[in-house]
């Protein structure tokens, strides 16, 4: 049986990490989730929500776009007031959260957060879920209308935003919530607080309020699977990369003789290692040829972004380093930190080997996936150059076919199978 150790990781901090990761998809605007959470909480105060409900709606705003992975989808959502395919990310977000008890309460409102108010009345939803879904829809659209103005002329643009929202009162939005918006936004402070430096501080302050739900190791793994799915959907050429790296890394950890608990921690680091790639533009990941020096400089930032997302979660400091060091070499060649050889723990070295191995096996836009013979040749060259740990590449040789099969996704107990289970389970409203 897998251990169920508590890591002393607070759920609220994981929610902040999810928002930080998902908001990277915006590339040039990475605070959308924070602003939606802020707006929703301000409107919630005006309709008399309790303190616990205000915290709930703030977190709901932070999580509402967890079904968005690509820059193109993000652009469609912000460039069109009522994009015809908006329901896709709502459904994905719902499926990701509905079977995870700590976040289950957010699933239905996320599923319907782009459903007009008039249509919500016909659905089999509680009034609370319907109102929370519509509150997030309203907050989301307010933010989309205001985003271009926050750092410049938002106090001049706010009247136009009022008028645009009024057009949809009673159809798209609950008139009670629209009225609450007008009351809240009569204050200049409402709009000024949405500027990047202010909303970031507000979110930081909210993050200091503990949720009092400490996550077990298995719950953190489940959340990591959710995040890995979001990252792996970024590009068709990286689909399943994170989950397969995690599977290979866990297998190598077990073969190396590490404890069951340590192997799960390595698996979590593998699932999370590419979180920072959500900031990489789609066209770079999809480029069918070598990257130029500018594109390479952009993609070389992703492991640092991974570190920045994870290092703020108390209790996951070690996992943050293992995940972020996956492009570091024992010889000091790599990026972005260039740690000393002794700073690269066995766990970090395992992630690095698993990442290289799986990437070589997988099809990429500029080449087909490689044969086992070719993969082993390349990792041997990297070990001889001092980049990869020779003991671990030797272990790969001893278990070569198993590693290759796992890297291709054939592990019946692997993370790819778990993701399929919670995405393909029957939907019950």
All residues at 6 or more sequence positions from 347 whose CB lies less than 8 Å from its CB, including other chains: 253, 258, 262, 265, 266, 269, 318, 322
Structure tokens at 192: 């000024």
**Residue 32: enclosing H or E segment and its boundaries?**
helix 32-46
Of these residues, 34, 277, 287, 387, which one is catalytic? 277
Active site residue 84: no
Strands 6-10 and 214-216: antiparallel
* Closest-CA residue to 275 (of 238, 328, 247, 249): 238
Bond prior to 336 in cis (omega within 30° of 0): yes
Burial of 73 (0-12, 13-18, 19+ CB in 10 A): buried
Q: How many residues does the chain have?
A: 429
- Cβ atoms of 273 and 323 within 8 Å: the answer is yes
The three-state DSSP-derived secondary structure of 37-91 is HHHHHHHHHHCCCCHHHHHHHHHHHHHCCCCCCCHHHHHHHHHCCCCCCHHHHHH
| Catalytic residue list | 277
């Amino acid at each position: 049986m897998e251990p169920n150790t508590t890591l002393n990781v607070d759920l609220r901090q994981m929610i902040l990490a999810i928002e930080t990761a998902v908001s990277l998809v915006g590339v040039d605007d990475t605070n959308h989730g924070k602003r939606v959470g802020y707006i929703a909480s301000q409107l919630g105060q005006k309709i008399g929500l309790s303190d616990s409900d205000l915290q709930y709606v703030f977190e709901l705003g932070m999580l509402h776009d967890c079904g968005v992975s690509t820059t193109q989808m993000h652009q469609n959502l912000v460039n069109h007031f009522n994009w015809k395919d908006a329901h896709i990310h709502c459904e994905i977000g719902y499926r990701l959260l509905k079977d995870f008890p700590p976040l289950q309460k957010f699933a239905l409102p996320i599923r319907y957060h782009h459903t007009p108010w008039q249509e919500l009345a016909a659905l089999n939803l509680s009034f609370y879920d319907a109102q929370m879904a519509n509150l997030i829809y309203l907050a989301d659209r307010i933010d989309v209308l205001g985003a271009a103005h926050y750092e410049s002329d938002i106090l001049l643009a706010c009247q136009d935003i009022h008028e645009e929202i009024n057009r949809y009162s009673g159809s798209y939005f609950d008139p009670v919530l629209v009225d609450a918006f007008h009351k809240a936004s009569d204050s200049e402070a409402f709009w000024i607080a949405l500027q990047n430096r202010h909303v970031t501080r507000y979110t930081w302050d909210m993050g200091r309020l503990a949720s009092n739900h400490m996550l077990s190791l298995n719950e953190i793994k489940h959340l990591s699977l959710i995040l890995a799915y979001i990252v792996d959907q970024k590009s068709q050429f990286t689909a399943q990369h994170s989950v397969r790296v995690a599977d290979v890394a866990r297998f190598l950890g077990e073969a190396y003789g590490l404890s069951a608990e340590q192997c799960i921690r390595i698996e979590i680091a593998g699932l999370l290692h590419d979180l920072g790639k959500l900031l990489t533009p789609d066209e770079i990941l999809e480029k069918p040829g070598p990257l130029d020096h500018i594109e390479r400089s952009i993609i070389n930032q992703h492991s640092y972004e991974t570190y920045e997302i994870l290092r703020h979660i108390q209790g996951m400091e070690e996992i943050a380093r293992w995940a972020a060091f996956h492009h570091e070499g024992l010889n000091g060649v790599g990026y972005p930190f260039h740690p000393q050889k002794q700073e690269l723990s066995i766990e970090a070295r395992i992630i690095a080997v698993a990442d290289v191995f799986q990437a070589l096996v997988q099809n990429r836009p500029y080449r087909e996936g490689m044969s086992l013979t070719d993969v082993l040749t390349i990792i041997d060259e990297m070990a001889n150059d001092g980049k990869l740990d020779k003991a671990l590449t030797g272990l790969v040789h001893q278990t070569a076919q198993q590693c290759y099969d796992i890297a291709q996704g054939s592990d019946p107990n692997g993370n790819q199978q778990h993701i399929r289970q919670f995405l393909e389970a029957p939907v019950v409203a």
